[in-house]
Structure 1
Amino acid sequence: MIICTNKMEYSLRTQCQRVQKQVAVNGEKERVSLLFMKALVSRGSVDAVFQQMASHPQYLESFLRTQHYILHMDGPLPLPYRHYIAIMAAARHHCTYLVYLHSAQFLRVGGDPLWLQGLEAAPPRLRLLDHINKVLAHQPWLSSCSHIQTLLKSGEQCWSLAELVQAVVILAHCHALCSFVFGCDTDSDLVSRSKSPNGTPPTYCPFDAANGNTNVPQSLATPSEHITRRRSLDSSCDMVCLKERIQKSQEEREKREDRLQQTQTLQQTDLEDEEEMMCFADPSRFITDPNFCYQEFARKEEDHFQVFRVQDYSWEDHGFSLVNRLYSDIGHLLDDRFRRVTTLPSLHSSDLKRAIWNYIHCVLGIRYDDYDYSEVNHLLERDLKLYIKAVACFPDSTKTPVCPLSWALLKNSERIHVNLLIMEARLQAELLYALRAITQYMIA
């Protein structure tokens, strides 16, 4: 009797655990669906970047909240400026995917199409950002107080401190996002535009024929639609009615032809617009000094640049408070992203996550005095280090990242987690350099 009771208790407990697990799974699915709905509302589509991040819905929620805030919510910069700055940032890494998306959004919020002809067509104030854009993108340790002073004291074209901080956040956000796009090979999705097979209109649905859609192509029509029903013309058939039916049939055919012509014209216009947008999305239009790129941070024996020591200027103690004061609430949103990406449930150990984070900061000239860097070589295999460095320091959509051999053993969500760590570590590094330069300007 006791054994039977124990078995029943075990069975009930097992069933409860299964139910709880299923509830948790359903909850995550609902959460992802909700996030996608939000993306649809704000952008009109769910792009490949969001689909990749969806394997980590806790992080995706934080990412979407931050991106929506800096690109769409209240702030010192007008909306067209924000998307144009994003275009400039993505262009530094030849990221056609992001350049295309922000070009479309730039036009959607009322941006001047002439600006998309190239950087030289943009207002002088935006062109002034070009130098700090390329420095932050490729060699952030070159950021200096003089760069900030140039932007804030340029006569009629000068930036306010609040505007500059928002611009810097957008630049750093998009540079880092380029790393994620490169790591996940998302940029190639844009190049292969979807084309309908066999000349089928993109909007055609097989159910349209049943709903009376007259735009159904003849090649897809069912045989029954080509068969003319024979009607007996006996003495009871009224010739007047027959003429009316013939006339009505002719009118309907003419209307069908008109609608088909209009549809073809619209499709041709859409294709021309898309081709024109693809031309506008050419990243080279928004780049000056294309040879400026990532270089190894100076070695000790040739120490041209001082190592950035986190003990002297950290995100927690300095960067967070400054950016939050000059650009309300953005510090909290960014801090939430940094925390979530390092605390995501994962097969990766906390030591491995920290090794990835600190290695990225190290190759960008940032050092932690309290960290034993021998852990990096111990925890990160050589091919993984090469991959991390490529994605973090010189992402380029014209190349394909060489994935580590060990990745074949990992789930897709685990690989995406590594790319998220790379993105966030790089974002924080760029912000630290830019905010330190702003701090130096303010206290000078």
Structure 2
Amino acid sequence: MTNLISSVCTRVMVNSEKERVSLLFMKALVSRGSVDAVSQQMAPHPQYLESFLRTQHYILHMDGPLPLPYRHYIAIMAAARHHCNYLVYLHSAQFLRVGGDPLWLQGLEAAPPRLRLLDHINKVLAHQPWLTACSHIQTLLKSGEQCWSLAELVQAVVILAHCHSLCSFVFGCDTDSDFVPLSKSPNGTPPTFCPFDAANGNTNVPQLLAAPSEHITRRRSLDSSCDMVCLKERIQKSQEEREKREERLLQTQTLQQTDMEEEEEMICFADPSRFITDPDFCYQEFARREEDHFQVFRVQDYSWEDHGFSLVNRLYSDIGHLLDDRFRSVTTLPSLHSPDMKRAIWNYIHCVLGIRYDDYDYGEVNQLLERDLKLYIKAVACFPDATKTSVCPLSLTPIKTSERIHVNLLIMEARLQAELLYALRAITQYMIA
């Protein structure tokens, strides 16, 4: 009897997880017309996916000090530092969709001076975050007419760190190497970056799909919904009634729309190198010798829980709670990895980025993480775009897909927190100076 109950509970949990993913994907299909590749990769972990989408939607679309075009342009700048074609293309499309000036996509030199001022802190956070200093914050906040407010800067830093770390996930899961332009949605709008509305709690959606793998990017899967069928019939009937009297007008509009879409697609394929300066600036081994200038960042002196969370939440309302939920979600995901191994992965990433925990025995890193796994983790965390070159052909083929994705999620979140700690510490130093 006990075994039967356990079996039933297991099936209920599995079905519940599948339905959760289906709901997220259905909301994405209804609201945006597509499900992006990143969400597809995260699908084995729906609890984390929901937290990720909620945070991403908040920083890119909800109320905040920065206008929407600025947010997506900052995301383009961040993704370009790692030559991530996938994210540069998709954020370029979103930039145009929210009314961004197409001329800005010609390159960083075409962007407003205020955005160009972010270039230095963007490159430092992306490659050598331990160089982030109070002086960088002061330069941005005291640049005359081009100065940033503290609230604007905090949101910009969160977007930069979010996109830098997302590049690690994209390259770790081979999304960038497999990237091809998304097909245009039926209404002619550019393809979207992510299903931002998928985690907003809107339950007024059509019937769930049976399995996410059957419908991920196929718009026609919506035909299984009665509501969508009815809507389709109504649209078709309306079109037939107007067809004769508007035939020429529709043809003209179609030609104009096609020209506009082709122009947008060409712009969205802009070379990421257009948005970066100093391309030779890259990750270097963090110096830990006493004679070196840069000191180890000790979590006991400045931690996310005791310092970063409260500061970012005060300057950018509610983002601290959303980020904290992401950090907690990724560490509590069901996995074959033991809690000790998860902590070893997290602490190792922070270590290669110059952050140390005084209460942790780093001997456990070598005991729990095999050499090939350490090489993979360091590469994806520190120089993700190099992992797909012939010089650095790293992979985790012995690990099944869901576990590989889990490792990449840990890498992404640990890197995100590390960048935020460096940036928020610098902001704190500026505020108390």
* TM tier, smaller: 0.7 to 0.9
CA shift in 2, pair 1:80/1:366, >3 Å: same
Displacement of 1:269: 3.1
In 2, the alpha carbon distance for the partners of 1:296 and 1:110 equals: 41
Deviates more, 1:98-107 or 1:265-274: 265-274
Displacement of 1:247: 26
In 1, the alpha carbon distance for the partners of 2:228 and 2:17 equals: 67
In 1, the alpha carbon distance for the partners of 2:17 and 2:213 equals: 47
Displacement of 1:208: 31
Displacement of 1:416: 0.1
Task: Tell me whether 1:16 sits opposite 2:9 in the alignment.
Answer: yes
| Consecutive unaligned residues in structure 1, runs of 5 or more | 7-11
Q: For this pair of structures, how many residues does the alignment match?
A: 431
Alpha carbons 2:32, 2:192 under 8 Å: kept: no
CA shift in 2, pair 1:242/1:380, >3 Å: closer
Alpha carbons 1:384, 1:403 under 8 Å: kept: no
In 2, the alpha carbon distance for the partners of 1:236 and 1:87 equals: 36
Deviates more, 1:232-241 or 1:292-301: 232-241
Alpha carbons 2:23, 2:208 under 8 Å: kept: no
Alpha carbons 1:76, 1:163 under 8 Å: kept: yes
Deviations 1:44-71 (A, max 9, x none): 4211000000110000000000000000
Deviations 1:216-252 (A, max 9, x none): 9999999999999999999999999999999999999
CA shift in 2, pair 1:252/1:355, >3 Å: closer
Displacement of 1:349: 0.4
Displacement of 1:263: 10
Displacement of 1:258: 8.7
CA shift in 2, pair 1:236/1:297, >3 Å: closer
Alpha carbons 2:97, 2:190 under 8 Å: kept: no
Give the root-mean-square deviation of aligned CA atoms.
Answer: 11.3
Three-state SS of the structure 2 residue aligned to 1:120 is helix
TM-score, length basis structure 1: 0.78
Alpha carbons 2:117, 2:140 under 8 Å: kept: yes
Deviations 1:14-40 (A, max 9, x none): 66765xxxx222211111112123334
Alpha carbons 2:223, 2:229 under 8 Å: kept: no
Deviates more, 1:89-98 or 1:39-48: 39-48
| Consecutive unaligned residues in structure 2, runs of 5 or more | none
Task: Tell me whether 1:241 sits opposite 2:230 in the alignment.
Answer: yes
CA shift in 2, pair 1:256/1:331, >3 Å: same
In 2, the alpha carbon distance for the partners of 1:228 and 1:341 equals: 25
CA shift in 2, pair 1:213/1:197, >3 Å: farther
CA shift in 2, pair 1:307/1:41, >3 Å: farther
In 1, the alpha carbon distance for the partners of 2:284 and 2:167 equals: 18
Alpha carbons 1:184, 1:416 under 8 Å: kept: yes
CA shift in 2, pair 1:261/1:388, >3 Å: same
Alpha carbons 1:313, 1:436 under 8 Å: kept: yes
Larger Rg: 1
**Between the two proteins, what is the percent identity of the paired residues?**
91
Deviations 1:232-286 (A, max 9, x none): 9999999999999999999999999999995997599369726743565310110
CA shift in 2, pair 1:268/1:148, >3 Å: closer
Alpha carbons 2:121, 2:136 under 8 Å: kept: yes
CA shift in 2, pair 1:216/1:403, >3 Å: same
